[in-house]
């Protein structure tokens, strides 16, 4: 298939698709210094439309790359959800309010910001920290996978041909819609009512062959983050399973002119007989309306799909006006609009032999109203990125890659179930009374919303047992008998941190730096840089017995064959593979960092001692007391040890001084490195 004349490039990772999932993956690769290319068939990034909620967990993740504050500052903060329902007379009125984000689950709350800005933050990060550049207008045309070389870590088993498109080819054809006198780009080309445009792009590139050049890329790993119509998925012969419903929704992004008083709240509005509207207030005075199109207003095309040509912004607005009556709503500014039919589908496979992976819409599609799509897609890539990076760098064996499908396919199924329930409730007609079985109970709807909020926050994600999640209870339930899954090598003792859960992300409260008394949110100490972390909750180190336990552990950690030295390359910094952080519970002012063993504050010939490794659970001057021991359910005298994955999920909880279990945990998947005779820890004079 591949011509001998074409130039051949070797890369560690090839990413197909530069939407949120592809860019998240590229961000990890940039951060970890992995040789990567990322291509997208479109000529430009998106500029408007495609607003999306950012979950609390998503903001925590963006913050771990140092870009969370940009989203937090620019986004609209959605604080409250208001429910509007028909009263006895059939007119809508506010029937309840709940907080949009459950108080206390995160230091962030859900916000809304359009996808183009999120992509900008990723692009800025990638360009600022690596040579990786998104190559736009580049279409993959052939994919060959030598499965026999899948387990050879030095091999480049995937071969992809890339075709560079002309500018015209790479520009998606968008209908320019005249609305209120001005021309507005619609979003139908991205809608699932629109046909896949890949074939069209391919065809047009054949026609203008002169404008094209082709090249061959040989990759160790390929990630298909190329959307619902994924070319990578089709090349692999994988499919999405599920079904579509016959609910049709219109979407308007407008600057509303309305006397509806809750237009800046997230609202779920059920009218008596005209359908539902969801209101999502956005940045820059915009409001997104998701509007149910009733059957009278649409003409069906073939196979249950709607003929999109009948839908216009005016038609969608008319639906909204009926639902929101007696309140008036209109607009002078229309930013974007689209229409879609809900379909819920999950991929049959998330990877081909852990060499070619699918992420984001390529493995799950669902309705946008729950504000989950972009989040779950980016989190697929967030889950996958550090694993690929650690394997490519030769730090971990390939077994950790199996956890990607195990962990993310479950999330995708949970998401589909959530969306199915949520959509049914939201699309249905309100029940007239308790005897009206076809109608939707609005009490049930509000309850589902409250329960759904925890899911929708992203905080509830709970990864199941594997060799990187030492959750034995869970392991017995789930892994038993399934040979495709890897078992934990050690057993956690969750009673030592009774409010933490192995397999979930570690929560955050404030701790103080021992060296300068500055308060930090605990998660701020866990940037996404690819490193594992051992967090030593050292307890009260003034207690002599406890001090001895800490000393014993540190003596072992300092030895030449310790897990800290064995798995760190000779040229790696002492914290580049496994970082040790200490959070003690004694009084800050009674101690200094020099009261702690040197391995907890390593010495560097140029920088001196490391002042950023030891923290304390104590009262700050300006930001209160985080009470991390209490919040995590850890005994203030005895403490415990917690191992965190590079993505902040908890791998293991054990006694502070159980070095052997920690060593066994890492030994199950990490690869010993050639270290220099001196080792990587410099001992001060």
Catalytic site residues? 52, 282, 290, 368
326 in contact with a copy of itself (CB under 8 A): no
* 3-state class (DSSP) for residue 94: strand
Contact between 516 and a copy of itself by CB under 8 A: the answer reads yes
In the complex, minimum distance from the CB of residue 244 to a copy of itself, in angstroms, rounded to a whole number: 34
Q: How far is the CB of 299 from a copy of itself (least distance, A)?
A: 33
515 binds a copy of itself (CB under 8 A): yes
What are phi and psi for residue 85, nearest 5 degrees?
A: -140, 165
Is 93 a residue that touches a copy of itself (CB under 8 A)? no
How far is CA 245 from its chain centroid?
Answer: 26
Burial grade of 237 (CB within 10 A; 0-12, 13-18, 19 or more):
exposed
**Rule CB under 8 A: which of 263-292 touch a copy of itself?**
263-265, 281, 285
**Minimum Å distance from CB 517 to a copy of itself?**
4
Please, which residue, 620 or 673, has the CB nearer to a copy of itself? 620
Q: Please tell me whether residue 606 binds a copy of itself under the rule CB under 8 A.
A: yes
Out of 592, 660, 672, 676, name the contact with a copy of itself by CB under 8 A: 592
Contact call for residues 403 and 387 (beta carbons, < 8 A) = yes
| Residue 602 CB, nearest approach to a copy of itself (Å) | 13
Phi-psi region of 141 (alpha: psi -120 to 50; beta: other; left: phi over 0): alpha
Based on the shown chain and the rule CB under 8 A, indicate whether residue 521 belongs to the binding site for a copy of itself.
no
Residue in 33, 43, 48, 79 binding a copy of itself, rule: CB under 8 A? 79
In sequence order, which residues have a C-beta less than 8 Å from that of residue 417 and are 6 or more positions away?
Answer: none
Q: Is 683 in the site for a copy of itself (CB under 8 A)?
A: no
Query: 332-347 burial string, b = 16+ CB within 10 Å, else e?
Result: ebbbbbbbbbbbbbbb
Q: Which own/partner pairs from 548-553 qualify as long-range (CB within 8 Å, at least 24 positions apart)?
A: 549/656, 549/657, 550/596, 550/597, 550/656, 550/657, 551/597, 552/657, 553/641, 553/656, 553/657, 553/659
Question: Quick one: which of 421, 424, 478, 518 contacts a copy of itself (CB under 8 A)?
Answer: 518
Q: Is 97 in the site for a copy of itself (CB under 8 A)?
A: yes
Rule CB under 8 A: is residue 80 a binding residue for a copy of itself? yes
Binding a copy of itself by CB under 8 A: which of 210, 483, 594, 674? 594
476 binds a copy of itself (CB under 8 A): no
Least distance CB 100 / a copy of itself (angstroms): 8
Nearer to a copy of itself, 47 or 603 (CB): 603
353 binds a copy of itself, rule: CB under 8 A: no
Both tokens assigned to 98: 């709940």
517 is an interface residue for a copy of itself by CB under 8 A: yes
Site map for a copy of itself, 227-266, x if CB under 8 A?
----------------------------xxxxx-xxxxx-
- Our finding on whether 182 is near a copy of itself (CB under 8 A) is no
Q: Residues 311, 294: contact at Cβ < 8 Å?
A: no
Q: What are phi and psi of 378, to 5 degrees?
A: -65, -35
Which residues fall within 8 angstroms of residue 36, CB to CB, at 6 or more apart? 11, 12, 13, 14, 15, 26, 29, 30, 130, 132
Total residues at the site for a copy of itself (CB under 8 A)? 43
- Rounded Cα–Cα distance for residues 491 and 661 (Å): 8
- Residue 44 CA: distances (Å) to CA of 19, 48, 71, 203, 228: 11, 12, 21, 20, 19
Q: Pick from 27, 31, 85, 101: which binds a copy of itself (CB under 8 A)?
A: 101
Which residues are registered as beta bridge partners of 212?
A: none
Directed axis angle between helix 56-64 and helix 373-392, to 10°? 30
Of the pair 394, 608, the CB lying nearest a copy of itself is at: 608
The 3-state DSSP class for residue 526 equals coil
Single out the segment in contact with a copy of itself by CB under 8 A; choices: 38-46, 126-134, 182-190, 607-615: 607-615
Q: 405 and 88 in contact (C-beta within 8 Å)?
A: no
Nearest to 130, CA basis, from 397, 578, 572, 529: 529
Question: What are the residues binding a copy of itself (CB under 8 A)?
Answer: 69, 73, 77-80, 97, 99, 101, 103, 109, 255-259, 261-265, 281, 285, 332-333, 513, 515-519, 589, 592-594, 605-608, 611, 620-622
């Amino acid at each position: 298939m591949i011509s001998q004349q074409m130039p051949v490039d070797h890369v560690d990772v090839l990413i197909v698709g530069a939407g949120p999932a592809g860019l998240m993956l590229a961000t990890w690769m940039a951060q970890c210094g992995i040789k990567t290319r990322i291509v997208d068939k479109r000529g430009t990034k998106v500029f408007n439309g495609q607003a999306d909620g950012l979950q609390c967990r998503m903001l925590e993740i963006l913050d771990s790359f140092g870009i969370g504050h940009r989203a937090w500052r620019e986004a609209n903060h959605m604080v409250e959800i208001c429910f509007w329902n028909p009263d006895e007379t059939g007119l809508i009125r506010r029937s309840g309010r709940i907080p949009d984000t459950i108080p206390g689950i995160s230091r962030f709350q859900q916000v809304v910001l359009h996808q183009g800005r999120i992509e900008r933050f990723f692009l800025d990060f990638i360009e600022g920290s690596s040579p990786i550049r998104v190559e736009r207008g580049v279409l993959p045309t052939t994919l060959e996978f030598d499965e026999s070389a899948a387990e050879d870590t030095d091999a480049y088993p995937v071969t992809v041909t890339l075709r560079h498109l002309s500018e015209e080819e790479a520009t998606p054809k968008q209908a320019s819609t005249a609305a209120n006198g001005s021309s507005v780009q619609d979003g139908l080309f991205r809608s699932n009512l629109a046909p896949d445009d890949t074939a069209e792009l391919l065809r047009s590139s054949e026609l203008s062959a002169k404008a094209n050049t082709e090249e061959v890329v040989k990759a160790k790993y390929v990630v298909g983050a190329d959307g619902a119509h994924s070319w990578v998925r089709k090349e692999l012969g994988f499919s999405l399973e599920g079904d579509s419903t016959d609910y049709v929704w219109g979407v308007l992004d407008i600057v509303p002119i309305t006397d509806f008083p809750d237009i800046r709240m997230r609202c779920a509005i059920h009218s008596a007989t005209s359908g539902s509207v969801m209101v999502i207030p956005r940045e820059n005075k915009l409001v997104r309306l998701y509007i149910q199109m009733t059957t009278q207003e649409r003409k069906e095309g073939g196979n249950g799909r709607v003929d999109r040509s009948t839908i216009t912004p005016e038609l969608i607005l008319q639906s909204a006006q009926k639902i929101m009556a007696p309140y008036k709503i209109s607009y002078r500014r229309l930013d974007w609009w689209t229409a879609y039919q809900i379909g819920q589908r999950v991929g049959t496979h998330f990877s081909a032999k852990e060499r070619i992976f699918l992420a984001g819409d390529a493995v799950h599609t669902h309705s946008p109203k729950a504000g989950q799509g972009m989040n779950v897609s980016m989190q697929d890539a967030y889950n996958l990125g550090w694993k690929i990076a650690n394997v490519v760098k030769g730090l971990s064996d390939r077994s950790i890659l199996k956890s990607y499908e195990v962990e993310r396919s479950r999330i995708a199924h949970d998401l589909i179930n959530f969306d199915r329930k949520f959509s049914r409730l939201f699309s249905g007609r309100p029940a007239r009374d308790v005897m009206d079985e076809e109608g939707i109970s609005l009490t049930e709807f509000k309850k589902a919303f409250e329960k759904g909020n925890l899911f929708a926050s992203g905080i509830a994600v709970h990864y199941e047992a594997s060799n990187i999640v030492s959750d034995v209870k869970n392991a017995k339930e789930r892994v038993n008998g399934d040979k495709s899954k890897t078992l934990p090598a050690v057993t956690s003792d969750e009673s030592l941190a009774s409010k933490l859960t192995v397999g979930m992300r570690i929560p955050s409260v404030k701790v103080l730096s021992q060296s300068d008394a500055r308060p930090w949110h605990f998660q701020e100490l866990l940037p996404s840089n690819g490193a594992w972390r051992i967090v030593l909750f050292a307890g009260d180190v003034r207690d002599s017995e406890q001090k001895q336990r800490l000393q014993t552990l540190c003596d072992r950690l300092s030895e030449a064959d310790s897990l800290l030295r064995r798995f760190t390359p000779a040229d790696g910094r002492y914290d580049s593979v496994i970082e040790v952080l200490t959070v003690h519970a004694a009084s800050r002012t009674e101690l200094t960092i020099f009261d702690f063993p040197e391995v907890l504050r390593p010495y560097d010939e140029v920088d001196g001692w490391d002042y950023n490794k030891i923290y304390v659970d104590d009262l700050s001057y300006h930001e209160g007391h985080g009470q991390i021991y209490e919040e995590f359910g850890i005994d203030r005298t005895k403490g415990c040890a917690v191992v965190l994955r590079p993505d902040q999920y908890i791998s293991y909880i054990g006694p502070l001084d159980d070095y052997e279990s920690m060593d066994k945990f890492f030994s199950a998947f990490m690869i010993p490195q050639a270290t220099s005779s001196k080792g990587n820890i410099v001992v001060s004079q």
